[in-house]
Amino acid sequence: MDKERKIIQITEKVPLLQGIPLSIQHTFAMFSASVLVPYIFGIDPAIALLMNGIGTLLFILITNGKAPAYLGSSFAFISPALLIINDPSLGYRYALGGFVVVGALMCIIAILIKFVGTKWIDAILPPAAMGPVVALIGLELAGSAAQTGGIMAADGSPVNDPKATAVFLITLLLAIFGGVLYRGFASAIAILISIIVGYIVAIFVGIVDFSLVSQASIFALPEFQTPLWSMKAIIITAPATLVVVSEHIGHQVVTSEIVGKDLLKDPGLHKSMFADGFSTALSGMFGSCPTTTYGENIGVMAITKVYSVWVIGGAALFSIFLSFIGKASALISTIPGPVMGGVSFLLYGMIGASGIRLMVDAKIDYSKARNLALTSVVFVVGLSGVSISLGSSQLRGMSLAALIGMLLGLVFYILDKFKLTNDYEHESSATEKETKS
C-alpha cells in the first residue's frame, strides 16, 4: 500500500530546493487574478505585486507565523473604485483614500473581536450555515474559472475554440491526475507541473503572445502614488468593509478546515483580520489595490497538503522580486487563460468540497428543520445571483449568503434560548422513546 502523502505543517520549514518550486507554485496560482485588478484600475501591476508580497509577509508576522495565507488584490473594491476613478471631480488617488479607510475599519473590527471573542461566530453561524458559506467561496468562482479558461463566454454560452479547450483540458487533467498519481515531491508541485506543461502546449498550438515580454524593461521601479481624501469617495468605498470582513471570516474557516486547526482561536480571528486590514491600508497609502486572502492559494494548500508559512513567505518574496523585474513579470503574464482556467477549475472545486467536508465532519442533523432551512437558504442566496446594493457596493454571492446566514442564525439562537423551536419537542420525544425502550 502506498504511503499517504506527507503533510507539511504550518510552522514546518522546507528544504530550499523544495521550497523554491513550492513558493513559485503559489505565485503562479495568484498571479493572473492579482494583476487583473490593477489593470482594471489603470495602474502599474508591479505596485500590486510589491504590496501583495509585503502584505503577505506582514500577515505572517502579525499572526505569529500560525496562519498560512497569501494576500492578493481584492475584487471587492472594483465597483466602488471605478465609480471614483470615473468621477471627473475625483480620480484614483481619492479611491486610495477610501482603501485606507476600509483597511482602518477592518483593524477597528479586529480590535473589537479581540475583546468580545469569537463565540458569537459559533452562535450566529452554526455548521449548517458555515458549511455552505465556505462551499460558496469556491462554487461562486466556478463560472469565472470557465470564462478564464476560454470555454464559456460571460453570458454563459459555450465558446467553440478547439485550441483553448484542448489546453484547458490538458492542464485540468494533469492537475487532477498529477495529485493522485505522482509520487514523492512531484505530488506536492502537481499544480506547478500542470501549469508548465499546459503553457508548453499553449505555445505549441500558438495561443501565447510574447509581445509584452519584448516591450517590458529588464528592471523597473513600481509606480507609487499617495492617497487623497474626500468624504464622497470614503462613503462610496466604506460599504465594501462588510464584504471583505465576511470574506475574511469565510477564508479563515475554510483554511482551518483544510489545515486541521482552528485558526479563529489560534492565532485568533482578531490577529488575522487586523493583518488583512493593515495590509489593505498600507497598500492604499502607497498607491496599490486593497488586499485580501486568496482562494486560489487556499486551493493549492488543499491539493498539495503543504501548509508551511515558510513556503507562503517564499511566494511573497518572489512576488516582490517580480515587481522590480519587468521581463519576468511580463513572461508570467503571458500564461494564457486556458492554462490558469484549467488550474482554477480544480482549485475552486477543492474549496467548495472543503465546505461540504465541514458539514460532514460536524455531523449536522438535517432532521431538524432549522438546520435544513439554514443550509438551503444560504446555498440559494449564494447561487441565485440575487444582490443587495449598499451605496455603490453590492452584496452578492458568498458575502450576501454569509450575512443572511448570520441573521437567520441569530434569530434561531434567540428562539433556542427561549426554547421556542419545535426541535426541542423532537428531542423530548426521542428521549422519551429511549427511556421507554
pLDDT winner (highest mean) among 137-141, 316-320, 364-368, 432-436:
316-320
Among 118-132, 138-152, 239-253, the minimum mean pLDDT is found in 138-152
Residue 285 has pLDDT above 60, yes or no: yes
pLDDT at 123: 77
Q: 231: burial class by Cβ within 10 Å (0-12, 13-18, 19+)?
A: exposed
Compute φ and ψ for 306, nearest 5 degrees: -110, 105
pLDDT range class, residue 429, cuts 50, 70, 90: very low
* Residue 437 within any structural domain of the chain: no
pLDDT at 5: 60
Q: What is the mean pLDDT of residues 210-229?
A: 87
Among 92-106, 190-204, 353-367, the minimum mean pLDDT is found in 353-367
> Per the confidence metrics, is the pTM higher than 0.85?
no
As for how many domains the chain has, the answer is 1
Domain interval for residue 44: 16-367
Number of H helices, E strands in the chain: 21, 4
pLDDT range class, residue 83, cuts 50, 70, 90: confident
* Residue 94 within any structural domain of the chain: yes
Residue 381 has pLDDT above 60, yes or no: yes
Task: Tell me the pLDDT tens digit for each residue of 222-264.
Answer: 889 999 999 988 988 887 887 788 889 888 988 998 999 999 9
Average pLDDT over the chain reads: 85
* Residue 387 within any structural domain of the chain: no
CA distance 78 to 133: 22
Cα distances (Å, whole numbers) of residue 413 to 281, 403, 420, 429: 35, 15, 10, 21
pLDDT at 431: 44
Among 193-207, 248-262, 276-290, 378-392, the minimum mean pLDDT is found in 378-392
- Asked if 347 and 295 count as a contact pair (C-beta separation under 8 A), the reply is yes
Task: Tell me the pLDDT tens digit for each residue of 88-123.
Answer: 889 999 999 999 999 999 999 999 999 988 777 777
CA distance 390 to 379: 21
pLDDT at 388: 81
- Asked if 254 and 298 count as a contact pair (C-beta separation under 8 A), the reply is yes
CA distance 314 to 56: 10
pLDDT range class, residue 50, cuts 50, 70, 90: very high
CA distance 130 to 149: 29
* Residue 384 within any structural domain of the chain: no
Of all residues in the chain, what percent carry a pLDDT higher than 70?
93
Those residues whose C-beta lies under 8 Å from the C-beta of residue 225, and which sit 6 or more positions away, are: 43, 47, 92, 93, 96, 286, 287
* Residue 5 within any structural domain of the chain: no
pLDDT at 138: 79
* Residue 293 within any structural domain of the chain: yes
pLDDT range class, residue 160, cuts 50, 70, 90: confident
CA distance 416 to 60: 39
Q: What is the mean pLDDT of residues 24-38?
A: 85
Among 73-82, 110-119, 376-385, the minimum mean pLDDT is found in 73-82
Cα distances (Å, whole numbers) of residue 386 to 374, 383, 391, 394: 17, 8, 16, 10
Cell numbers 463566454 label which residue? 153
* Residue 339 within any structural domain of the chain: yes
pLDDT winner (highest mean) among 68-77, 134-143, 332-341:
68-77
* Residue 398 within any structural domain of the chain: no
pLDDT range class, residue 147, cuts 50, 70, 90: confident
Task: Tell me the pLDDT tens digit for each residue of 315-340.
Answer: 999 999 999 988 887 888 788 888 88
- Asked if 35 and 45 count as a contact pair (C-beta separation under 8 A), the reply is yes
Of 67, 38, 66, residue with least CA distance to 52:
38
